[in-house]
Structures are given as C-alpha cells and as structure tokens.
C-alpha cells in the first residue's frame, strides 16, 4: 500500500521504487532544515516497511557514512538508531554497519563523533557484549575505546538494555570461583533500575541531535556509600573449613584477579568471594593478613579495569576490607587510594562514584596518617572533579580522625586547605571552607594563623559560611589572635551541633580538651 509524503515541497509516493531515491534521501538527511531531515528519515524508515528487509535499505545507505556533508553522516547514524528502535537488531547485519560507526567515532566533526557513539551504544543495547568485542578489535585509540566502553557500561548499568537476557553472555552467570550461582555480577549490586525509556528512541523523531550533546541521565549508575554498605554482605555464603581451605581460596582469587585475560565476570566474582570470606570470618585467621598483602596488585589491576563491574566490585571489596579490618587495612589502603583517585574524573558515573565511595569509607575506617599526603597531593589536580572531592575528603577526615593521627601532617593540611579556599572553582572553595572548620577543631592556632594570612575577601566568605551554618562563634580579628584558642573551643562546640551526623569524633575532640 503506497503512502504519500510531503517531502521538500514534493509529494512522494513511497513504495519499492522510492528506494531508488535513497541516495537523494541521504543527501536530504544533511539538509539545513530540521523538517526536511525528519521527513527524509521517516521516508527511509518507510522504505524498510515496503521492501523485503531493512537490511536491503541499509545496503543502499552505506555510502551515507562517508557523505561529504557532515549532517548526512550524522543523519545516517541517527537513522540507524531509529531503525534499531523500530525493528530491533534481528533484521540487520550489524557486523557490516559497526565498522562504519567505528570510523565515524574519529570524524572531524564533533556532532558526527557524538552521533556515531550514541548509535554504537544503541547497537550495544540491542546486541550486547558481542558489540564490545567487535568494537575492541577495530584498532581504535585506547582513550576513545575507553570512552565508548564507558558509555556501554552506562547503558548497561542504567538498566537501559534492549536485549533479551539470553542473548547476552554478560547477563549470564559464569561458573567461576563463586560457584554455580544464578546471581550474576550485576545482581550483587543493585543499581537503581531506570525504566526502559521509549523516549530514547526520540532519535527517530529528531534527526538533529541538539548540538550532538549527550543528554543521557546524568546520574545513571551513580552509587553512594549506602549502596556499598548493602553490597558488602550481599554475597554468596561460604564456609571456611580450615586455614588450608582459606589459603586455597585466596590463592585462587589472587590468580584470577591478577590476570586480566580471565573473563571479567570471573574476576568480578572473585572479588566478591573475598567479601564472602570476610563475612565467614576470614579476618580471624592470621594467614589472611599475609595473603592480603599479596592481593594489593590484584586490587590495583581490578580498579583500573575497563569493565565497570570489575571496578565496582574492587571498590566495594576494598571498602569492605577497610570496614572490617580498620587500621589493619593500612597497607592495602595506601596502595589502592591513588588508583581510586584516578577513577574520579571518569565520565562514567558508576566508575567515578565507586571511587569516591570507596575512598570515603576507607577514610572513615582506616585512620592511617600516610593517607593524608596521598589526598593532599591531589588537591592541586588539574581535574576540577578531583579537587572538589579532595577537600570533601579532607573535611571528612578532619571530622572522623583523632588529632594524634593528624599531627604529623598539620602543615600540609593547612597549606592544602588554604589553597582550596582560594581555588579557582567555587564548589572546591565551598568544600575547602568546610574543611577549614574541621581543621580549626583540631589545630586552632594553626587555623587562626591561616585565617589571618588570607585576603579580607576570603576571610569574609569564611565568616559568612560560619553564619550560614548557624553558629554565632566569631573568628579572630588579626589583632587578637592570642585569645583565639579559647574561642575556638567554644566555636567548635557550637559547630558540632550543626553537624550532628558526623559529630562523633568531633565531640570526643571537644571533650578531650
Ligand atoms: C549450574 O547451573 C546451571 C544453570 O543454572 C544448571 O543447569 C547446572 O545443573 C548447574 N550445575 C551444577 C554443578 O550445579
Ligand atoms: C593524584 O596525585 C598523584 C601524585 O601527585 C598524581 O600522580 C595523580 O595523577 C593524581 N591523580 C589525579 C586523578 O589527579
Ligand atoms: C568559652 O568557654 C570557656 C570555658 O569552656 C568559658 O569560660 C567562656 O566563657 C566561653 N566563652 C564564650 C564566649 O562562650
């Protein structure tokens, strides 16, 4: 049944013969007017309905991936997304199309690059892990590959996949060290499910992706400390039958996690197994601590993995170790924290927030002074995200730790917070100002000296932070800093009340004096 389209002012009759105009339609996909582009895409999709198969049409669209007009190249990508959303992956030979998309990820035009990646993500959503393997073989530069894989992970973790579970190995359980359980790596960690959005297929209606910007859910896959704490014990139950049994398990875990040639889901399960062993009381065995040292390399490797599931399991597991072992996790914490920092600038939320949550839990439970320089060294990172987090970490650390754990590093704490108060980024400054009050609790004289060294505009901002936090305490005037110690004590007492959530150690601090 032919149907009529108003197309560029011409009424076209769409039936088999309209496919002869496919090259012209590809040109029209690059038109300057949204309306023309939309109609072209609609007509192409209609062609698929009318002819033998969508792939027949796609064979004829292939030259469009190399069209000289960037909008046409972008339009062909968007049209492929629209095809997938309409017909699924079944009728398409995607292995013929994916190489074109991969080439376009390096296109000179940013909109085309973005559209090609978005479409690759759509292909991945429909086909699953085979796409990752295929894209991985196309010789793309590592950084670009990492970006693409992060986007795949984002789709996976946001519950936005469009495939049936049986099509994708990543959704099946692998009989690994975990035993033959039906809960896969994903199940261990419940990322809030984002309902499948038909709106994702809006590419079908809007061939002009606004400026090529990805508008996907910003917080997709983001995790926090509470998620971690739930995941600590959401692991298979195991029993430790003997020291020998524990050692065998730990050796096997180390072997699996130290070699990234093992399947990612085996490595994720092996990391989870460490938590199972912790729950079963592994920390009561002396040999556990020797083995833990041997696992440093495995944790670092896992936290650098390209697969977000492996990274997440590594982050959860080191955080769990910190919680259970406290300061006995000093060595492991020192080894892993720098790697966790490198996750923070990652564009995949699940990676970045896993790193942050792990560091925060480690700061809460493993109070080893050697962590302080690791944190302060990143206070001058080029990444704004890292700097903001660094001051947040310092704030937490100053709330949670006893003064004696901080004393050796007073100078560097003061210096870092001072830099933060003057940071170019306003959010980083906010975090640094919070940390300032923590510093003042422990080291009033040093904090006052820092205050007095600041330009008056920064002093005023610090003051106004204090007012907005509800405290009436006042900061020293430059001319009476000698009395500041006494004031600090009272000030800290009051600040305490405003932060009762974290006031545990702070209160001790006040009482101790
Ligand atoms: C492993 O799990 C599969 C599927 O759940 C099941 O068919 C198989 O019998 C199980 N094997 C063992 C050894 O439990
Ligand atoms: C953190 O600091 C270390 C040491 O200065 C540096 O090597 C690393 O690149 C920094 N990490 C980030 C994410 O800025
Ligand atoms: C501060 O505390 C000291 C003793 O704890 C007390 O003598 C003093 O009056 C307090 N000052 C203010 C301003 O509350």
Report pLDDT digits (tens) over 144-201. 999 999 999 888 887 778 764 433 332 222 222 223 233 333 332 333 333 333 333 3
Top-confidence range, 39-48, 179-188, 385-394: 385-394
Helix, strand or coil, per DSSP, at residue 11: strand
Q: Is 490 in the pocket of ligand 3 (CB under 6 A)?
A: yes
Q: Is 383 in the pocket of ligand 3 (CB under 6 A)?
A: no
CA of residue 304 to ligand 2 center, whole Å: 14
- Ligand 2: residue of 338, 343, 376, 416 to mutate (most ligand atoms within 8 A of CB) is 338
Cα distance between residue 282 and residue 280, in whole Å:
6
Q: Is 4-158 CATH 1.25.10.10? A: yes
102, two tokens: 């991969």
Q: How far does the chain reach from its first CA to its final CA, in angstroms?
A: 88
* Pick from 91, 61, 63, 167: nearest CA to 124: 167
Which residue's structure tokens are 């095809």? 83
Residue 277's pLDDT band (cuts 50, 70, 90): very high
397, two tokens: 């650390």
- What's residue 182's pLDDT? 32
| Chain center to CA of 333 | 20
* Pick from 444, 352, 452: nearest CA to 398: 444
Closest atom, ligand 2, to C-alpha of 345: 13
Closest atom, ligand 2, to C-alpha of 338: 1
Cα distance between residue 407 and residue 326, in whole Å:
20
Closest atom, ligand 2, to C-alpha of 381: 14
Cα distance between residue 321 and residue 339, in whole Å:
16
pLDDT tens by residue, 76-125: 999 999 898 888 888 888 888 999 999 999 999 999 999 999 999 999 98
CA of residue 490 to ligand 3 center, whole Å: 6
Cα distance between residue 360 and residue 392, in whole Å:
9
Cα–Cα separations (whole angstroms), residue 263 to 169, 185, 304, 307 = 11, 12, 15, 10
Cα distance between residue 301 and residue 271, in whole Å:
12
Q: Is 180 in the pocket of ligand 1 (CB under 6 A)?
A: yes
Closest atom, ligand 3, to C-alpha of 473: 13
Protein residue with least CA distance to atom 5, ligand 1: 182
Q: Which ligand is nearest to the CA of 340?
A: 2
Closest atom, ligand 1, to C-alpha of 175: 1
Instruction: Calculate mean pLDDT across residues 5-10.
Output: 45
Protein residue with least CA distance to atom 9, ligand 2: 342
Backbone φ and ψ of 265, nearest 5°: -75, -25
Cα distance between residue 290 and residue 285, in whole Å:
10
Helix, strand or coil, per DSSP, at residue 481: helix
Averaged pLDDT score across all residues of the chain: 79
Protein residue with least CA distance to atom 5, ligand 2: 377
Residue 467's pLDDT band (cuts 50, 70, 90): low
CA of residue 441 to ligand 2 center, whole Å: 28
- Out of 51-55, 125-129, 227-231, 302-306, which region has the weakest mean confidence (pLDDT)? 51-55
* Pick from 29, 20, 90: nearest CA to 54: 90
DSSP assignments along 134-161, one per residue: HHHTS---HHHHHHHHHHHHHHHHTT--
Q: In the chain, what are the domain boundaries?
A: 4-158, 219-368, 401-513
- Ligand 1: residue of 165, 176, 180, 183 to mutate (most ligand atoms within 8 A of CB) is 180
Cα distance between residue 474 and residue 489, in whole Å:
11
Instruction: Calculate mean pLDDT across residues 492-499.
Output: 37
Instruction: Calculate mean pLDDT across residues 447-473.
Output: 78
* Pick from 73, 10, 6, 77: nearest CA to 46: 6
**What's the pTM?**
0.52
Protein residue with least CA distance to atom 2, ligand 3: 490
Closest atom, ligand 3, to C-alpha of 490: 1
- What's residue 166's pLDDT? 38
Which residues are CB-neighbours of 238 under 8 A, at least 6 positions away?
A: 249, 273, 276, 277, 279, 280
Q: Which ligand is nearest to the CA of 176?
A: 1
Residue 339's pLDDT band (cuts 50, 70, 90): very high
254-264 burial, b at 16+ Cβ within 10 Å, e below that, comes to bebbbeeebeb
CA of residue 117 to ligand 3 center, whole Å: 63
Q: State whether the Cα torsion 121-126-131-132 is positive or negative.
A: positive
Q: Which residues pair with 5 in a beta bridge?
A: 12
Instruction: Give the CATH number of domain 219-368; options: 1.10.240.10, 3.20.20.70, 3.40.640.10, 1.25.10.10.
Output: 1.25.10.10
Half-sphere exposure of 149 (CA within 13 A, CB side): 22
Contact 159, 352 (CB under 8 A): no
* Pick from 59, 51, 91: nearest CA to 76: 59
Protein residue with least CA distance to atom 14, ligand 1: 180
Protein residue with least CA distance to atom 4, ligand 1: 182
pLDDT at 478 over 70: no
* Pick from 442, 229, 424: nearest CA to 319: 229
Which residues are CB-neighbours of 369 under 8 A, at least 6 positions away?
A: 405, 406, 408, 409
The DSSP H or E segment spanning 7 is: strand 3-7
């Amino acid at each position: 049944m032919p149907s009529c389209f108003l197309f560029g002012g011409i009424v076209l009759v769409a039936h088999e013969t309209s496919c002869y105009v496919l090259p012209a339609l590809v040109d029209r996909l690059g038109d300057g007017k949204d309306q023309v582009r939309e109609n072209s895409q609609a007509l192409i999709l209609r062609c698929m309905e009318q002819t033998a198969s969508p792939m027949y049409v796609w064979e004829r669209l292939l030259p469009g991936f190399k069209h000289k007009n960037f909008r046409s190249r972008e339009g062909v990508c968007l049209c492929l997304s629209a095809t997938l959303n309409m017909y699924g992956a079944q009728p398409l030979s995607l292995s013929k199309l994916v190489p074109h998309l991969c080439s376009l990820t390096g296109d000179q035009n940013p909109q085309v690059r973005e559209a090609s990646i978005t479409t690759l993500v759509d292909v991945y959503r429909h086909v699953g892990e085979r796409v990752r393997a295929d894209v991985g073989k196309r010789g793309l530069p590592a950084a670009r590959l990492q970006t693409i894989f992060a986007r795949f992970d984002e789709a996976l973790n946001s519950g936005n996949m469009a495939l049936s579970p049986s099509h994708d190995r990543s959704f099946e359980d692998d009989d690994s060290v975990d035993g033959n359980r039906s809960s896969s790596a994903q199940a261990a960690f419940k990322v809030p499910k984002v309902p499948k959005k038909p709106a994702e297929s809006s590419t079908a209606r809007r061939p002009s992706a606004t400026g090529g910007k990805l508008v996907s859910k910003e917080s997709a896959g983001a995790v926090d400390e509470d998620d971690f704490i739930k995941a600590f014990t959401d692991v298979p139950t195991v029993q430790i039958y003997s020291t020998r049994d524990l050692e065998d398990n730990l050796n096997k875990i180390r072997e699996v996690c130290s070699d990234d040639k093992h399947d990612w889901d085996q490595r994720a399960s092996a990391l989870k197994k460490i938590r199972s062993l912790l729950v079963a009381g592994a920390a009561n065995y002396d040999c556990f601590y020797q083995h833990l040292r041997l696992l440093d390399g495995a944790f670092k490797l896992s936290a650098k993995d390209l697969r977000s599931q492996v990274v997440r399991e590594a982050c959860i597991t080191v955080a769990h170790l910190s919680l259970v072992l406290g300061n006995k996790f000093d060595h492991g914490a020192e080894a892993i924290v720098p790697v966790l920092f490198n996750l923070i600038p990652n564009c995949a939320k699940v990676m970045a927030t896993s790193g942050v949550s792990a560091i925060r839990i480690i700061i809460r439970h493993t109070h080893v002074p050697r962590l302080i320089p690791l944190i302060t060294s990143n206070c001058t990172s080029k990444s704004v995200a890292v700097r903001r987090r660094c001051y947040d970490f310092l704030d937490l650390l100053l709330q949670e730790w006893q003064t004696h754990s901080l004393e050796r590093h007073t100078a560097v704490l003061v210096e870092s917070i001072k830099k933060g108060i003057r940071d170019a980024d306003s959010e980083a400054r906010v975090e640094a100002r919070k940390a300032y009050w923590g510093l003042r609790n422990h080291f009033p004289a040093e904090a006052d000296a820092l205050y007095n060294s600041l330009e008056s505009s920064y002093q005023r901002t610090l003051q106004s932070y204090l007012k907005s936090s509800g405290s009436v305490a006042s900061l020293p005037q430059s001319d009476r800093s000698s009395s500041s110690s006494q004031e600090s004590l009272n000030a800290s007492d009051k600040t305490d009340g405003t932060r009762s959530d974290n006031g545990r150690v702070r209160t001790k601090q006040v009482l101790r004096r």
